[in-house]
Chain A
Amino acid sequence: MDLYSAVSGLVNWVVGGLFGLVEGLGLRGPVVVFLRDLYGSLEHAIITAVVAILVLVVGLLMVVLMLWIERKLIGRLADRRATMLGIRGIGRGTGAIQLFADAIKLFVKEDLAPKKADRHVFAAGPSILVASSVLVLVAIPMSEGFAASDLDGGLIFAMAVFGFAPFAVFLSGWSANNKYTLIGGMRSATQMISCEIPFLLSLVGVVILAGSFRLVDIVHMQGELWFIVLQPIAFVVYFIAMISEIERIPFDLPEAEAELVEGWQTEYSGLKFAFAMMSGYIRGYVGCALGVLLFFGGWSSPVPAYSVALPWGGEFSGPVPELWFLMKVLLLFMVLVWVRAALGRVRVDQIVNLGWKRLLPLALFNIALTVAFLIFAPELESDTLAMGVAFSVPSLFLVAMFWKWGWFR
């Protein structure tokens, strides 16, 4: 059962109950008939809206969780405790309510704009950013059932919308009429032209293996072996390009706080800044979620199937698939936090070098390798998986040797 039919059943049950109550009270007439007709024609829209809100809420809750994990983990890596804010009874000393405190603070802050800024574009920047970030959530299934939509070209849609953010960053950087924001916006554009192409090309191998752009299909194809084993180079390219796409250290050039104050966000305050910040984390979630869907088997359980008889009857055969999915996403995100704690920021010419001279050839090499593999084993079956591993291990070795020869510098 997918999310749409579940919500539709729920909404129909509630609305039907309401109408039944109205009729039971003896109220009949043109108004009730009109309301029934209205509901009949709006049913699809209402259910879609409920589904969308549900997916959005889950996404935002994940953002809250990720922000908290990032703060605590980066604090621990820097040998400090990070946020400790909590109220008695609710996570005292864990920083559980720090985010809500921050959100309230940003809500009540004055919304400032520079005098000479292009006000409309200045306001449009964060809006486009948040809208495009949230829109990707639509395409991401958390399990076979839990998805806002099951698009045939889900991956293409996600990539198209995901690549939209640098445009918003560029707009807001230019509109603020500040030299630092202008440079930040320009850097965002530079970063996009250098890392967007390898980012997309890294997915081609996966799509060739899965034979579909539908994310559910891609996950199903990884039933026996995750694509990280078959496509290690693709994952390396994807991961590096993804960090650049979501603008985190080491590729957070547009908001390099050391030289550009706060980059393109310099002039934003209050809610607009909160939006800019939040969309960064939504994009982080989306990037990690796509990584999990494409390379780590999505919601499939990493442990072999088992079942334990529960003392109160019934059987327990592992947590729900959505939970596996979210756990994998958070683990991947923790790697991002680790990278942030361990690395600095690259220079703008270095990222162009990296994108065009390193990641792009690697991605193309991976595509060639995948095609060669498919010539030997046209169908991805369990007996050909060994061959896939035999292909991927030397390729990984080759990449390691490139690393050792300093080709990535």
Chain B
Amino acid sequence: MTQMWLNMGPQHPATHGLWDLFVRVDGETIKEAQTKIGYLHRGVEKIAENRTVEKFLPLNDRLCYVANSSWTTLFVMGVEELLEVTSPERAQYIRVIVLELQRIASHLVWLGAYCSDMGLLTMILWAWRDRELMLDLFQFLTGARIMHNFPRVGGVRNDLPPTFRERALKAMDYMDRMCDEYELICGRNELFVMRTKGIGALPLDRAIALGATGPMLRASGLERDVRKEDPYLVYDRLDFKVPVGRNGDGWDRYTVRLEETRQSVSLVRQCLQKMPEGDVMIPGFKMPKVLPARAVYRRAEDPRGEGAVYIVGDGKTNRPYRLKIRSPTYIHLLGIPHYIVGARVSDVPIIMGGADPCMAEVDR
């Protein structure tokens, strides 16, 4: 049968964001695939070289439109390491709360999109309904729903509002119940299992060769989490499990991410309990006029995998000499053409969605 090239993007409902996957199909079977990215390139890394650190902070929120604060926090942690300052403990707890709420919101968006890829449109509405709760909490805490611009070098912008604790605990109880409900409509759903088991399987050796991190790597069966290995903020004082899959297929990616959501709920609870009183900014801290002439590499567990920043100070200005952002999904996306071969056209959105691409972060 004649083979043909099929565009899965950039203007296609299957693409999670603006990118292009060309697949060569023989009937319905995929023989070859190529990716094309760069539609959303804004030159963020170059912009950073021309801005002071404070002015660059809000742009970090734009790095990923689903997990905004995780990138800002990562950048702030990098700068703090460069300046050799440590933010107060309470600020670190607040950052963890924001990061974990962000992870819950991000995984909910992923779950909704993943289910809508296989036609289960009820789930996307449920997931986005519950994400609203997280956004409400963000709005209460930071004043913004998506672009929070919340962490600061030396702490966070403001303390928790008076009733935040109660509201957050209530939302976390609700999320616990809802996770069980997602399990009912997805995990116990015959069709969901049919469509995800064995689809887009990424064996562990290939996942490592590819450089996969985060849920993608853990679904393949390696227990690796930056929060455990290289603890930052207060993660070493918190108790959480790292879920691990077995085959690295669509099903494992779902189970890993759902379990991570549950762990995040428990992390938020722990933070709210253990949080000490105190300042949220280093008292009297002022951003120095000069960044030291050193380089730091700071990594953190983004909802999508291992994100990292490499910041070089030039010792003359307070603009980074060079900023390199390691985006986890960039690596996952470039791996898709390797493990999509042999799948069906119907599986393309599921395999693409399994990597949880966030194009703003990939193209930077």
* A residues lining the B interface (CB < 8 Å): 74, 77-80, 179-180, 183, 186-187, 249-250, 252-253, 256-261, 341-350, 408-409
Answer whether residue B239 sits at the interface, using C-beta atoms and an 8 A cutoff: no
B residues 301-357 in Cβ contact with A at 8 Å: 344-349
Chain A: CB-nearest residue to B346:
A347
Contact of B346 with A344 in the complex, beta carbons under 8 Å: no
Which residues in B have their C-beta under 8 angstroms from that of A343? 119-120, 189-191
Chain A: CB-nearest residue to B344:
A347
Which residues in A have their C-beta under 8 angstroms from that of B349? 258-259
Q: State how many angstroms separate the Cβ of A364 from the closest Cβ of chain B.
A: 23
Task: For the complex, give the distance between the alpha carbons of A252 and B347 in Å.
Answer: 15
Answer whether residue B117 sits at the interface, using C-beta atoms and an 8 A cutoff: yes
Contact of A344 with B28 in the complex, beta carbons under 8 Å: no
Chain A: CB-nearest residue to B185:
A342
Q: State how many angstroms separate the Cβ of A335 from the closest Cβ of chain B.
A: 15
Chain A: CB-nearest residue to B353:
A258
* B residues lining the A interface (CB < 8 Å): 4, 6, 8, 12-14, 25, 27-28, 115-122, 125-126, 129, 185, 189-195, 344-349
Q: When the two chains form the complex, which single residue of B6, B117, B129, B192 contacts A258, counting CB atoms closer than 8 Å?
A: B117
Contact of A347 with B190 in the complex, beta carbons under 8 Å: no
Number of A-B contacts (CB under 8 A): 88
Contact of A77 with B12 in the complex, beta carbons under 8 Å: no
Which residues in B have their C-beta under 8 angstroms from that of A250? 119, 191
Task: For the complex, give the distance between the alpha carbons of A257 and B13 in Å.
Answer: 7
Q: When the two chains form the complex, which single residue of A78, A180, A252, A346 contacts B126, counting CB atoms closer than 8 Å?
A: A78
Given contact pairs A258-B14, A342-B185, A344-B118, A253 touches B192 in the complex (Cβ within 8 A): no
Which residues in B have their C-beta under 8 angstroms from that of A349? 28, 344
Chain A: CB-nearest residue to B130:
A79
Contact of A78 with B122 in the complex, beta carbons under 8 Å: yes
Chain B: CB-nearest residue to A179:
B6
Contact of B195 with A344 in the complex, beta carbons under 8 Å: yes
Task: For the complex, give the distance between the alpha carbons of A253 and B28 in Å.
Answer: 12
Task: For the complex, give the distance between the alpha carbons of A327 and B228 in Å.
Answer: 60
Contact of B122 with A259 in the complex, beta carbons under 8 Å: no
Which residues in B have their C-beta under 8 angstroms from that of A258? 13-14, 116-119, 346, 349
Q: State how many angstroms separate the Cβ of A55 from the closest Cβ of chain B.
A: 33
Q: State how many angstroms separate the Cβ of A349 from the closest Cβ of chain B.
A: 7
Contact of A256 with B346 in the complex, beta carbons under 8 Å: yes
Contact of A409 with B194 in the complex, beta carbons under 8 Å: yes
Q: When the two chains form the complex, which single residue of B25, B115, B119, B345 contacts A249, counting CB atoms closer than 8 Å?
A: B119
Task: For the complex, give the distance between the alpha carbons of A238 and B119 in Å.
Answer: 22
Which residues in A have their C-beta under 8 angstroms from that of B116? 258
